[in-house]
Each structure stands twice: as C-alpha cells, then as structure tokens.
Amino acid sequence: MSVTPAEQAPTTTVGALPPAVTQLLAAVRDALDVPLADRPVDDAVRAELLTRRAADTRVVLELLLQHGDVARSTERLREWAAEHPVTYATWQARTEQAAAEEEHLLSGRGEQR
C-alpha cells in the first residue's frame, strides 16, 4: 500500500519548533548521550547508567503527556541526568587526549627543523 502526499506527516522547517520543545528535545538527547566506556570493565557501569537515564526519560515524557508542562519536564529531566553523571573514563576522552598528544608531538618536530 503506497502513501499519497496527503497522507504523509507534515514536515517542519528547522527552527520552527517552539523553543520550549527544542529545549526538551535537547534535554532528551543529552540524557541519552551516554559515552562509551574506555575500559571493558566499565561497560556494565555505562549500561546501568544508560538504562537509568532511559527510564528517567520515559517517566518525564509520560508526565509531560499527562500534564503538558514542557518547561518543568525539561527541568526535571536535566536535574535527574545531573544526579547520575558519567563516572568512568570514556573512550571519547581517550581518543581526544591521544589526538592532542599526537598534535603536540608533531608540532614539536616542526619547531626542531
């Protein structure tokens, strides 16, 4: 069964969402953006954190659907995410550090010439 253009969901221009909705979506993204662990021993900690934040996000969205207070939902989600920060060394931090060290070494070679 094909969908006709009239049946398709309307599209929204970038920036057309109300600021409160944009802030809520950013809070959801931030809450669920749990970085990879640098060491395999921390994979379980990461998984637990992601599970916790996903559950908190679901609760906040459920409350939003019931009560409709976007600003309060955004605030609550940010509070809950802050209560459960990343506490392990991340793979992203290690790769950024390695890149910075490599750049430092390479810049030192250029000065020696």
Residue 11 lies in a domain: no
Residue 72 lies in a domain: yes
Number of domains in the chain: 1
For 77-86, the pLDDT digits (tens) are 999 999 999 9
Residue 99 lies in a domain: yes
Q: Indicate the pTM of the whole model.
A: 0.74
* Cα angle 26, 29, 33; round to 5: 140
The predicted structure's pLDDT at residue 97? 87
Residue 2 lies in a domain: no
Residue 78 lies in a domain: yes
Domain that holds residue 104: 19-111
Residue 106 lies in a domain: yes
Residue 35 lies in a domain: yes
pLDDT of 111 above 70: no
- The sign of the dihedral angle between the CA atoms of 87, 93, 98, 100 is negative
Residue 10 lies in a domain: no
